[in-house]
Structure 1
Amino acid sequence: MHVLKTDNLSVELNGITIIQGVNLDIQRGDHVALIGNNGVGKTTLLKVLCGQISQTGGKLEFGLGHDEIGWMMDEQVNADLTTIKYIYMGNEQCYELKNRLEQMQELWNEDTDFVEDYNDTLQQYMDLQGYEWEAKIERVAKELGINQEWWNISFSELSGGQKTRVKLARLLIKDPQMLVLDEPTNHMDIESVEWLVSWLRQYKGTVLFTSHERDFIDKVASITYALTDKGTKRYTGGYSFYKELHDQEQHAAEELYKKYNQERKKLLEVIQTYKQWYQKASNSASERNTFAKKQAGRHAKQVKVKEKALERLENKKIERPKENKGIEAIFDAEAFEGKRMIGMKNVSFSYNPDFPFIQNLEMEISRGDRLAVIGKNGSGKTTLLKLLTGTILPVEGEVRRNPQLKIGYFMQELDQLNMENTILDELLELDHLTQEEARTILACFLFRREDVFKKIKDLSMGEKCRVAFVKLYFSDANLLVLDEPTNYLDISTREQIEEALAVYPGSVVIVSHDPYLLRKVANRVMEIEAGNISHYKGSYVDWEESHQLTPENQGIENEISLLEMELVELYGQEEVNLDKIKEIKRKLEERKNIMVGKTNKK
């Protein structure tokens, strides 16, 4: 049974086609990824599905009611709204009645009208199963790992991973049969993404999501739809399956175009030759040469035959396939002749004297290093990069930088860009580039013609990231320090950057939550966790393999998950079995201690 189906759906705004040829067929239980370049219309399509925008053409059918679908779209949330209030407001009717009851309880009096009004309000709340709704909020919050400590914190102060959990909780209170998620992994660290992967894998309902995170798509999607300016194409499986088939299709299309072009070129050459022969024979025929007249006639017929063949071929014209041109890996970095680029000795740093953030750090960055810095959000990764680059100074210890060192620093906040500059002016700040060279470079990054005169402040975050990377790419840096360089970038741009970094002749220090990028680039790994820093001499792939669970450990992890689910169910029961809860908590602690012991032995 399909839960969502579209047939040749299209949208126009102000006479401009935004999306067209959208054909989706989503069945109950499918986990569907919608991918495509920035600006192709993914968010527009989701807005059509949720009713925010009307389609211009085609058909749209739902096998579910609108209230059976949970929509998690990008939204502006009042900065003063607490986490629990944000969840409550998922059901405004219940929330308003709950508020009214609480206010009336504070102002309680024995006036007959007041009591009658209170009883009426209470009855309305009970008719809506308000108390069951409150219990469900607590149960779902526990299931999603939402601590009660978060409840009175402003929603805006939560981390990316915490916000996603809270948004899911607000949706799940309504028991949706389908979830529609727009970029659910934005601003999430690797651990939070892994949690979301695990949760979505066990979710029995239907899921439709957009994402540029290839690893996430691979782990969650059973079907992938690729959206282009021509429409959608369906692929079974995640991103890796899509990529393999798409590359094969691209190669086949290029071969077909090549064959078409060769055949067309050959026909044009033959037609030209016959025309020359005809002209020559025709000139001879004018001198009353009977043989030449016959020859001219034969050549004229041949010209018409070949022109007909050319016409038939061009009626089946094959368009040249669009190429995703890779970035030319021409970094203008000076050769670094020394071995050590940066050395840190007993470095400590703190934003608050009472709470040390980084303590007694010792590390080196050497020529040829490609260091991945990983850890949870807030663990100190960005602070470490600022210490490396000299953006901030250590409270204690010493940071030594080689005199030959030239750092190119890509910051999340993009502070290195002048918002009042045009795109072209920003690139021309690199002294060695001419205007012609700068425009050619920008065209490779899809900034063409008049686009180069747009001001930085008017660009999207993805466009700003592209400008920042281009500028860094063509600088003379011999050490690139990159803080989340692929945030806001679509998949094709990420892959271009990966290819460029893979052949970059200098050294790289990178913070990223994108496993695909780290697998391509990193030959060393540094992990920051709870103030502790671990160094791993090996690639990111090696690090991943070393952290994979053995069958025995996976069994313990599965047992922990089952016990946690059982605990959540017990908390949700009307009659709480304290003895049973105590026993399950004991088992949980026992198994978690086993896992901690195994981790410490590594």
Structure 2
Amino acid sequence: LVLSPPVARRLLERPTLLILDEPTNHLDAVTIQWLESFLKTYPHSILVVSHDRYFLDEIVEKVLFLDSGKLQTYRGNYSQFREQLKEEEEALKKAYMKQQAYIKKEKDLIDNAKETEKAQRFAKSREKRLQQIEIVKRPRRQEQMHFQFPFSSRSGNIVVKAEELAFSYAAEKPLIRSTDFLINYGDKVALVGPNGSGKTTLLRLILGELKPNDGYMRLGASVDLRYFPQTRSFYSETNTVLQEVLDHKHMTLGEARDHLALFLFKDDAVFKQVKDLSGGEKSRLVLAKLALSEGNFFIFDEPTNHLDIDSLETLEEALLDFQGTVLFVSHDRYFVSKLAKKILHLEDGNLTYYPFGYQQYVRERDRERNISSQQNKEIDLHLKTNKMKRERPRKIVKKKEELLKYIGELEEEKEDIEVSFTKGEVAFDWEKLSKMQKRIKSIDDELITLYEAWLELEEGEE
């Protein structure tokens, strides 16, 4: 069984082996969290192929690593697998270097053996031992990007300051309501929120490409800003990779080629035209240009798009090592979790600041949602019971009958939904499946409120 998002195939049939191929592709954060919760309690075996590192950390207990036709098994989640793999690679490198040193030493002794019969016999014995040892293979060198973002100089303590900032496009609802926020020097800040919430618009306000409708935003003293856009832009689509870099900064051909090699553009790859590059290659080329410009405040809009895992990890390390300030938008939760020390959440025009990293942000958001839900239920119950208490006693009986009828209808609707779970067509529709789960939860919450309201009426009648 293969599950290819966005269509879920017979999840509720609960097969003994569920195979998922890139299940988080094209899913929003809410649906991914729902899928994670579902899979954590799945009673049978799951085999998943995914580049979503955070998802793998949440779900898997074992990793099968396929490399050069060889399959190896590692216990633990993705992060634990990477640590084990790193330790193995270091151990293999040390073993290889140690053995090569031993072989060289033995060969030198053999080659320099004296001409005496005893020395020659001993040399032949050494040579025979060398032929019998099991050779440690040379560690395969995995090509990765190697770079750092150049730091210009320290800015002032205030990097970005906004007060009563508000923005909307003409005749549209506000994307950003009156809000204040502050980004200080050295902060690593993630800007998160649903698709279409206005994250890129906020970045454009900081960049000065848009003007606020109200309030103001300003950059602090000595801020030297560099920007990595979501839409990769180039001087010319017909430029070669080499010419694109030379157009960005004056340097010799040798310097340009050496720099591009750090981003895996080597040999004839530097002569590929921009229009022929893959998405990952275009991202690496934009990073190569960005790494030629000194700055102390870097803004990234979805920098992880199209990058492979090795490139992502190199980018993470480069940003963690950067001395200045970083503000970025990303849907890669692993990237956000590793890099961000503070979070700005934009949703429904409201910008909320969280002075901590991603894990604590997730816990805080869950806590806020639970509090809000409980408060809404308490307010609703209070209004209903107060209204019922004010009604004349002769209406209480009628109200009880109406409540019982409505309770019966909700219980019947819930039963119908639960029965439909067993029907095959439901499992083909992610969105419908999620809506049904949410509807059951909504019915349960409403029934609790109605039961309590009915009991209030019962007590009032007494």
Counterpart Cα distance in 2 of 1:461 and 1:220 = 28
| More RCO (CA 8 Å, sep 6+) | 2
1:223 matched to which residue of 2?
62
Q: How does 1:196-345 map to 2 (within 5 A)?
A: 196-204=35-43, 207-274=46-113, 277-278=114-115, 295=116, 297-313=117-133, 316-323=134-141, 330-345=148-163
Kept in 1: contact 2:155–2:224 (CA 8 A): no
Q: How does 1:6-405 map to 2 (within 5 A)?
A: 69-72=1-4, 164-165=5-6, 167-168=7-8, 171-172=9-10, 175=13, 177=15, 179-204=18-43, 207-274=46-113, 277-278=114-115, 295=116, 297-313=117-133, 316-323=134-141, 330-402=148-220, 404-405=222-223
Change (3 A) 1:352 1:422: same
1:509 matched to which residue of 2?
327
Partner of 1:335: helix, strand, or coil? coil
Letter in 2 for 1:310: L
Residue 256 of structure 1 and its aligned partner are, at CA, apart by: 1.6
Kept in 1: contact 2:20–2:47 (CA 8 A): yes
Q: How does 1:453-492 map to 2 (within 5 A)?
A: 453-492=271-310
- Match of residue 571, structure 1, among 392, 417, 421: 417
Letter in 1 for 2:10: L
RMSD: 3.4
Change (3 A) 1:424 1:180: farther
Residue 543 of structure 1 and its aligned partner are, at CA, apart by: 2.7
Letter in 2 for 1:233: Q
Residue 304 of structure 1 and its aligned partner are, at CA, apart by: 2.9
Aligned residues: 392
Change (3 A) 1:355 1:547: closer
Partner of 1:391: helix, strand, or coil? coil
Residue 534 of structure 1 and its aligned partner are, at CA, apart by: 0.8
Change (3 A) 1:187 1:503: farther
Counterpart Cα distance in 2 of 1:584 and 1:485 = 37
Counterpart Cα distance in 2 of 1:330 and 1:585 = 50
Letter in 2 for 1:210: V
TM-score normalised per structure 1: 0.58
Q: Deviations over 1:54-97 (max 9, x none)?
A: xxxxxxxxxxxxxxx2441xxxxxxxxxxxxxxxxxxxxxxxxx
More displaced 10-residue stretch of structure 1: 377-386 or 338-347? 338-347
Residue 202 of structure 1 and its aligned partner are, at CA, apart by: 3.9
Residue 390 of structure 1 and its aligned partner are, at CA, apart by: 2.5
Letter in 1 for 2:306: Y
Counterpart Cα distance in 1 of 2:286 and 2:83 = 30
Letter in 1 for 2:71: T
2:445 matched to which residue of 1?
588
Kept in 1: contact 2:155–2:220 (CA 8 A): no
Q: Which runs of 5+ in 2 are unaligned?
A: 375-409, 421-438, 450-462
Kept in 1: contact 2:166–2:178 (CA 8 A): yes
Counterpart Cα distance in 2 of 1:468 and 1:419 = 13
Kept in 2: contact 1:329–1:504 (CA 8 A): no
Kept in 2: contact 1:327–1:444 (CA 8 A): yes
Percent identity over the alignment? 33
Change (3 A) 1:195 1:173: closer
Counterpart Cα distance in 2 of 1:565 and 1:243 = 49
Letter in 1 for 2:326: V
Residue 500 of structure 1 and its aligned partner are, at CA, apart by: 0.9
Partner of 2:112: helix, strand, or coil? helix
Partner of 1:429: helix, strand, or coil? helix
2:393 matched to which residue of 1?
none
- Match of residue 267, structure 2, among 430, 449, 456: 449
Residue 239 of structure 1 and its aligned partner are, at CA, apart by: 0.7
Letter in 2 for 1:244: E
Change (3 A) 1:362 1:195: same
1:161 matched to which residue of 2?
none
Change (3 A) 1:583 1:365: closer
Residue 480 of structure 1 and its aligned partner are, at CA, apart by: 1.1
- Match of residue 431, structure 1, among 238, 246, 249: 249
Partner of 1:322: helix, strand, or coil? coil
Counterpart Cα distance in 2 of 1:536 and 1:546 = 9
Residue 497 of structure 1 and its aligned partner are, at CA, apart by: 1.1
Kept in 2: contact 1:70–1:176 (CA 8 A): no
Q: Deviations over 1:323-378 (max 9, x none)?
A: 55776554322103422233333332223423111122322333212111111222
Residue 591 of structure 1 and its aligned partner are, at CA, apart by: 7.6
1:408 matched to which residue of 2?
226
Kept in 2: contact 1:417–1:468 (CA 8 A): no
More displaced 10-residue stretch of structure 1: 474-483 or 300-309? 300-309
TM-score normalised per structure 2: 0.74
Kept in 2: contact 1:190–1:375 (CA 8 A): no
1:526 matched to which residue of 2?
344
Kept in 2: contact 1:70–1:172 (CA 8 A): no
Change (3 A) 1:233 1:194: same
Letter in 1 for 2:184: S
Q: Which runs of 5+ in 1 are unaligned?
A: 1-68, 73-163, 279-294, 557-563, 575-581, 593-602
Kept in 2: contact 1:212–1:489 (CA 8 A): no
2:380 matched to which residue of 1?
none
Kept in 2: contact 1:222–1:237 (CA 8 A): yes
Letter in 1 for 2:130: L
Counterpart Cα distance in 1 of 2:347 and 2:338 = 23
Change (3 A) 1:400 1:243: same
Change (3 A) 1:585 1:538: closer
Residue 192 of structure 1 and its aligned partner are, at CA, apart by: 3.1
Counterpart Cα distance in 1 of 2:349 and 2:338 = 27
Q: Deviations over 1:172-231 (max 9, x none)?
A: 399583554432223444333212212333445654332222110122224322122233
Residue 473 of structure 1 and its aligned partner are, at CA, apart by: 2.5
Change (3 A) 1:269 1:376: same
Change (3 A) 1:535 1:258: same
Counterpart Cα distance in 2 of 1:310 and 1:334 = 55
Change (3 A) 1:584 1:440: closer
Counterpart Cα distance in 2 of 1:565 and 1:507 = 55
More displaced 10-residue stretch of structure 1: 501-510 or 323-332? 323-332
Letter in 2 for 1:466: R
Counterpart Cα distance in 1 of 2:89 and 2:11 = 44
Counterpart Cα distance in 1 of 2:62 and 2:212 = 49
